[in-house]
Structure 1
Amino acid sequence: MNTLLHGVTVLDFSEYIAGPYCGFLLADLGARVIKIEPPDGAEERRMGGSMRRYGGNTRMSLAMNRGKESLSIDLQQPEGREIVYKLVRDADVVVQNFVPGAAEKLGIDYETLAKINKRIVFLSSTAFGEVGPYRKRKGFDIIAHAASGVMSHYADEDGAPRGPGGIAYIDIGTGMLNALGIVSALYHRNVSGEGQKIETSLFSTGMALQAMSLLHIDGLDAEQHAQEKHILKTALGEGKKHTQIIDQFAEMRLRKDLPQTTRPIEVPDCLHRPTDRQVYPYYRVYPTGDGYLGIAALNRKLRDKLCAAIGVVDDDVAVDTGDVSDEVYFRQKQMMKTIEARLREHGNAHWMPLLEAAGVPCGPVNYRADLYTDPQAEALGLIWELHNRDLGSYKASGHPIRFSKTPVQPGRGAPSLGEHTEAVLAQAGYAPSDVERLKASRIVR
Structure 2
Amino acid sequence: MTPQDPSTAMPLDDIKVLELGQLIAGPYCGQVLADFGAQVIKVEPPGKGDAMRQWGEADRDSGEPLWWNVIGRNKQSLTLDLRTPRGQELLLRLAEQADVIIENFRPGTMERWGLGFDELSRHNPRLVMVRVTGFGQDGPYASRAGFASVCEAMGGLRYLSGHPDRPPVRVGISIGDTLAGLHAALGTMMALHQRDRSGLGQVVDSSIFESVLAMMENLIPEYARAGKVRERSGSFLPKIAPSNAYPARDGRDVIIGANQDTVFRRLCEAMGQPRLADHPDFATHRARGEHQAAIDDLVAAWTREHDAQQVVDILAEAGVPAGLVYRAPDMLEDPHFRAREAIVEVPDRHGKPLPMQNVFPRLSDTPGRVREVGPALGEHTETLLAGWLGLAPEAIDALRADGVI
User: Cα gap change, 1:105/1:89 in structure 2, threshold over 3 Å: closer, same or farther?
Assistant: same
Report if aligned partners of 1:181, 1:198 keep a CA contact under 8 Å in 2.
yes
Residue 19 of structure 1: aligned partner: 26
Question: Separation in 1 of the partners of 2:289 and 2:203?
Answer: 52
By how many angstroms is 1:266 displaced? 7.2
Task: Please state if 1:153 is matched with 2:153.
Answer: no
Task: Please state if 1:198 is matched with 2:195.
Answer: no
Report if aligned partners of 1:110, 1:122 keep a CA contact under 8 Å in 2.
yes
Question: Separation in 2 of the partners of 1:6 and 1:211?
Answer: 35
Specify the code of the residue in structure 1 equivalent to 2:54.
R
- Over the matched positions of the two proteins, sequence identity in percent amounts to 33
User: Cα gap change, 1:259/1:18 in structure 2, threshold over 3 Å: closer, same or farther?
Assistant: same
Moved over 6 A (4+): 259-262, 266-269
TM-score (norm 2): 0.54
Residue 47 of structure 1: aligned partner: 55
By how many angstroms is 1:178 displaced? 1.0
Residues 149-298 of structure 1 mapped to structure 2, 5 A cutoff: 149-155=156-162, 159-165=166-172, 167-216=173-222, 221-222=225-226, 224-225=227-228, 228=229, 250=238, 263=291
Question: Separation in 1 of the partners of 2:128 and 2:17?
Answer: 9
Specify the code of the residue in structure 1 equivalent to 2:34.
A
Residues 273-352 of structure 1 mapped to structure 2, 5 A cutoff: none
Residue 142 of structure 1: aligned partner: 149
Residue 363 of structure 1: aligned partner: none
Structure 1 counterpart SS, 2:22? coil
Structure 2 gaps of 5+ residues are 1-7, 240-284, 301-325, 327-405
Task: Say which of 99, 115, 121 aligns to 2:128.
Answer: 121
By how many angstroms is 1:176 displaced? 1.4
Question: Separation in 2 of the partners of 1:130 and 1:49?
Answer: 33
Question: Separation in 2 of the partners of 1:261 and 1:16?
Answer: 42
Superimposed CA distance per residue, residues 101-137 of structure 1 (whole angstroms, 9 cap, x where no aligned partner): 2222233221221111111000001001112222122
Question: Separation in 1 of the partners of 2:66 and 2:150?
Answer: 23
User: Cα gap change, 1:42/1:259 in structure 2, threshold over 3 Å: closer, same or farther?
Assistant: same
By how many angstroms is 1:75 displaced? 0.9
Superimposed CA distance per residue, residues 302-336 of structure 1 (whole angstroms, 9 cap, x where no aligned partner): xxxxxxxxxxxxxxxxxxxxxxxxxxxxxxxxxxx
Question: Separation in 2 of the partners of 1:206 and 1:157?
Answer: 21
Between the two proteins, the alignment pairs up a number of residues equal to: 251
Specify the code of the residue in structure 1 equivalent to 2:210.
S
Superimposed CA distance per residue, residues 220-253 of structure 1 (whole angstroms, 9 cap, x where no aligned partner): x34x34xx49xx9xxxxxxxxx779x99x958xx
Structure 2 counterpart SS, 1:216? helix
Question: Separation in 1 of the partners of 2:130 and 2:116?
Answer: 10
User: Cα gap change, 1:108/1:157 in structure 2, threshold over 3 Å: closer, same or farther?
Assistant: same
User: Cα gap change, 1:54/1:102 in structure 2, threshold over 3 Å: closer, same or farther?
Assistant: farther
User: Cα gap change, 1:80/1:260 in structure 2, threshold over 3 Å: closer, same or farther?
Assistant: closer
Structure 1 gaps of 5+ residues are 233-241, 252-256, 270-274, 276-445
Question: Separation in 2 of the partners of 1:2 and 1:23?
Answer: 19
By how many angstroms is 1:211 displaced? 2.0
Specify the code of the residue in structure 1 equivalent to 2:170.
G
Specify the code of the residue in structure 1 equivalent to 2:15.
V
Question: Separation in 1 of the partners of 2:198 and 2:140?
Answer: 33
Residue 112 of structure 1: aligned partner: 119
By how many angstroms is 1:46 displaced? 2.4
Specify the code of the residue in structure 2 equivalent to 1:216.
E
Specify the code of the residue in structure 2 equivalent to 1:125.
V
Specify the code of the residue in structure 1 equivalent to 2:215.
L
Specify the code of the residue in structure 1 equivalent to 2:24.
I
